Each structure stands twice: as structure tokens, then as C-alpha cells.
A and B are shown apart, each in its own frame.
Chain A
């Protein structure tokens, strides 16, 4: 979907993105992760040419981004940012309809699309359509920001620390929301964050950047289990990585099918970390496991967690 080929970006002669090559497969949820100043945001903004690059090639769906006119390129890429950047003088409907309007969609089609997106983000379309950004909470504004990015049904969604400015509870809700939208739409998402927990929770693949270079590329489990350098190990959180690993694996992977146990059951979709928490809480080393339909499908034990 996106190929970066030896891309270089310098500010005043100093490289901030240094010979970066990576390929994001279609449908991936790719998180660009790293400390501030590592070039992750610059990398994202080069993909829709908000930042010009000095060397190398970036291709989106096979097209060299420098061949396509920049406005046309950006209109086919969804874009959401930390400060949200909703247009304060436009209603929710006008904000979401920005790109469709730029693409000259008919009014009725824009209206219907706005309704569809508000419903996708679980906001009451009729109640929200005519509100202005200042009438919304931070979390609602960010949802509108995501809806606006999705408006013209882009093949690719770029998100620059989109949940950086909201409180932890809202942030948690928005993370579930974007994970659900990714699962439902199968869109390719490139997501910038410096928050390791957020990255592990959302990513299908993570690119860790260190001073403009790719420090490691891999799935969340790869990165926690096999950090390739001290930098990655420190960044992923050294001592806490065991717990992080538990958080990444589903109970379904380790459970003993067919066995039964007494007590409150836990969902097979929950993480091993959830299982550990439940065992600690209930002073037990065995939990019955249920599937999404609610029927008992097996047992998970403390020994299974550390296997």
C-alpha cells in the first residue's frame, strides 16, 4: 500500500529522516512509534506531502506521490491530527463533508455520507449534524475529526497522535473505536504515537524509529519478545515487558479446550493479562473460559499464562 524507498528529509542540513525504507501492506494498522524528535511525525507528513522530502521515493498504491498533484493526493488520503483542527465556523456536517465537497460530490450524497459516518462513530446523526465544534466535548470533537478523515472513503488514513490531547478515559474509548473501525473497514492506517501502550493495543505492525532511522519493524509481539537493540528494549519498557506480552496474547491461544472449572467465567477474547487480573482478584489459579456466545469452552490456569 505504502512504500518508502530510501527516503531522506533534512532540516538545515541535519537529517531528521535518514534513509528510511519500509513497506506498509494494504489493510495494515501500522503504528510509527518513537520518542519525540525521532522523525515519526515528519515521516507521516511526507506521505501526503505536507512536508517535502529531499531524496528517495514514496509510493502509495503504486503511484509516486510526487507525480500526483498534491491536492488530489491529499483528497484521497484521510488525515486526522492531535489538535483535531475542526473548522470552528462550520457545523459538524460541513466539517465532515469537507473533502467530499472538494471532490464535488452531489449534496444529497454528502448528506447521506455524513449520516453514515456519524452512525459509524455512534453519534446520533440528527442531534449532532448541525452542532458547532465549540458545542462538543473533546472526545466528540476527536470523533468528528476521525469521521472527517474517513469522509471520502479514502484508501489510506494518516493519524498524527490523534488521541494525544484527550483524557485517559476518553482516550481508551477512542482507541476501541478506531480498532473497531479498522476491523470493520479494513482500511490501511498509519498512526503516529509516542505511547507504547497505545501502539501495542492498536497496531498490526509497528515501526520503531530512532533518530530518523528504522530501529525495528515487526508485530507487537515480535517487538516485545525480541527487541533488536537496547534502545528498543528500553523504549518498550524493560522490566514491564512480561506483563505487556500477557496483554498482547488472547486467552484462546493458551486455554485447555473441553475442561471445566467452577467460578466466574472469562471471555476467550480477553487477554492473558485480564486472566491474571481475574485470578488475583478471585484468589484462584483456574478460570472457566466462555466464547462470545457465552457457552463454556474450556479452562485457563496460572501455569498456562507462564508457559
Chain B
């Protein structure tokens, strides 16, 4: 009886709603983007770089061709959420979302150029709330689509490369030249490369040092389990100190050190500058490095280690041939967290004169110039996303090779 009733019920339900919602995320993002486009400015026009601009809505700012393009792609994306999810459809959604990202960028560049023509030379066109919300919605839709399609590393790489190629093509073509962000960039072109390089140097040095210190510390903690509690207590405590406070706390002892030993000062060690920044970054990175070392190496199957011993491997052979390769996915996942965290913290290190992208952020905050803040923040975010993506791909490749 029940056996025959259930399919009947199901048929009835299907008949009542011929279009079923397969994806709840895309309609939500679509609605957010539409509301933002309707209520917020797509770009903002200000008479000079220091005052906040007047918002200009999308339909007023952008070329009708771009508006039409956005509408068509948005509708297509929405349609993918309503249609049954075949493999082709699952890949269509992220592809459409990626195209949307590029069209939103192009529309913004074109809108800025159009506004700039009609305004004075000092006027600035910056990106409005609607732009950011639409870009964010398209980005999330692309990520959601890739995840639903269970896209492999290869597809993800292709997607990222296509977006990067499209974006840099538009930059090369001068599509964004009218934007205030581009003005800020042109005014600081020389400093920008230096700051970006310094930022990367700070992160690489700090993470490198944290790995060199933290990895042996983790190995030692594994060999002597009673060390683990006090060690993690100290590292956890360090992690709870707010970053600005830690930079400040290092000011006093390091400047005292530099005064007492001029040779330190000659090496560039002092209360402010690169040295305290690196020390603070290393201290923050230690906890995740040590923790992932302990959980990665400690998580290697006891049976495998017993077999390695029984086969006659020396402790060194066991470590390099068995324990380290098997712990590698966990170690890389830890490294990912450490690098992303360090890229963010290095922004704050500019406060004590360490340089890096944070210097634009703090200059921008000081001058109340939001686009200068963005000039520092956007590359930092991109750097973090790129590092995260690369390490995630490496981890996925390793996991695939060492799959159990």
C-alpha cells in the first residue's frame, strides 16, 4: 500500500511545481545584486579626491550595452538555478558568473570614463556600493558553482587563469584609467612596486623563520609529550595579544637593545622598522606552524610507523620517507593558514614603519582618501587569495597522490 502511495505523491508534487529550485544560493545573490543596483550608486563622482562622491546609479552611469549584457547574463545565471542539474549545467553556472565578473568590471571602467569626460580635471570617479555588491555576488556565484560542480584543480586553474587574463587585458587596454584608484596608482607608481615587493619579502621572511623555528619545536613537542601543554599555553597566549599591541610592546625592548648595542642598530634592528615587524609576524605564525606539525606528524598511522621500524628503517629514513610525506597534506594546510594570516597582519606592520602595502592603507586613512586605502587593501587581498589558491591546489594534488 505505502509502496504504491509514495511515487504517486511524488508525481503530484512535481505536477504542482513544474519548475523546481535546484540552487538557493544563486537567486539570493541575484536578488542582492538587483536590490543594490536599484538603490546604491554604481560609481561615485567627487569634485576632488578628498571629499566623498555623489553616487551615480547603474542605469545612469553605465553604457546601455553593458546594462543589457549584465541583464542577459544575470537572467541566464538565474535560469541555471531553475533547470535540472546535469554536469553541463553545473559548469555553465560558474562560467556565466565568471563572464558576469568581467562585464561588471568593464561596465565600471566604461562608466568612470564617461563620467570623467563631463567633469572637471580634479574630479574623481570611484567605485560605488552597487559595484562592490554586484562583484561580490558574481564572485560568490562563481565559487558556489565550482563547488557544486566538484570542479577539479584543472578546471579551477582554468577559471582563475581566464579571469586573470580577462582582467589584465582590460587593464592593458586602459579601460580603468579614468577610475580614481588608477589615479592613485599613477601618482605612486614607483612606490607601489616597492611596497608590493616589501610586503612579499616581509611575509616570506616571517613565514620562513616561523617554519624554521616552529617545525623543530613541533617535532620536539611530539617526542616529549609533557612539553606540549606549556608550549601551547605560551603560543596561545601570544596569539591572543592584539597585533597593534604586540607591535607596540616590541617597541620598548628593541629600541633599548639598539641603544645599548649600536651594532644592532647598524643591522637595522630598532624599535620601529622591519625587525620588530618580522619578530611580531613570526610570533603570530608560530602557533599554527607548531600545531599543524604536531597534528600532522602525530596523526600518521601507528601501524605504518610500526611497519617502518620493523622493516629496518633508521629513524632518519622513517622521518623523510614515511612520516613527512604522510603528514605533508596537514602541514601544507597549516602553511596556508599561516601565509594568509601573515599577509593580512603585514598590512598592520606598516604602522611601525615596516613598509609594505599597509603604508598606502594608513596614508589613505590619514588623508581620508578611500581609494588610496583600496590601493593598499586590494593587492593585499589578491595576494592572500592567490597564496591560498596555490597552496590549496598543492594540497589537493598531494592528497590525490596519497589518497588512502
A residues with a Cβ closer than 8 A to B are 48, 50, 70-75, 79, 81-89, 98-99, 102, 132-134, 145, 148, 158
Contacts and interface: CB of A to CB of B under 8 A. Distances in A.
B402 interface: yes
Given A83-B301, A87-B322, A74 B309 contact: yes
Contacts of B306: 50, 81, 83, 85
Nearest to B317: A102
Contacts of A48: 310
B317 A79 contact: no
Contact of B301 (A50, A71, A79, A85): A85
A79 B303 contact: no
B225 interface: no
Contact of A88 (B312, B314, B317, B326): B326
Contact of B402 (A73, A89, A158): A89
Contacts of A88: 301, 304, 326, 402-404
B307 A81 contact: yes
Nearest to A158: B310
21 contacts: A71-B313, A73-B312, A74-B309, A74-B310, A81-B303, A81-B307, A83-B303, A83-B306, A84-B307, A85-B301, A85-B303, A85-B304, A85-B305, A86-B304, A86-B307, A87-B322, A88-B403, A89-B325, A102-B312, A102-B317, A134-B403
Given A81-B306, A87-B322, A132 B403 contact: yes
A75 B310 contact: no
Contacts of A71: 312-314
A38 B188 CA distance: 78
Interface in B133-192: none
Contacts of B67: none
B233 to A, nearest CB: 29
Contacts of B314: 71
Contacts of B312: 70-75, 99, 102
Nearest to A133: B404
Contacts of A84: 303, 307
A134 B305 CA distance: 17
A133 B303 CA distance: 14
A83 B402 CA distance: 18
A163 B273 CA distance: 63
B311 interface: yes
B308 interface: yes
B274 to A, nearest CB: 40
Interface in B287-341: 301-314, 317, 322, 325-326
B401 interface: yes
A89 B311 contact: no
A282 B157 CA distance: 70
Given A79-B311, A99-B312, 16 more contacts: A48-B310, A70-B312, A82-B303, A84-B303, A85-B305, A85-B307, A86-B307, A87-B308, A88-B402, A89-B401, A89-B402, A98-B311, A99-B311, A102-B313, A102-B317, A134-B404
A168 B313 CA distance: 33
A102 B322 CA distance: 13
A38 B306 CA distance: 20
B313 A79 contact: no
B400 to A, nearest CB: 11
Contacts of B402: 88-89
A145 B307 CA distance: 10
A74 B311 contact: yes
Contacts of B313: 71, 98, 102
Contacts of B304: 85-88
A307 B25 CA distance: 81
Contacts of B401: 89
Given A88-B404, A89-B325, A81 B311 contact: no
Given A85-B303, A89-B401, A79 B310 contact: yes
B312 to A, nearest CB: 3
Nearest to B401: A89
Closest 10 CB pairs of A and B: A85-B307, A83-B303, A74-B312, A79-B310, A75-B312, A85-B303, A89-B402, A134-B404, A71-B312, A85-B304
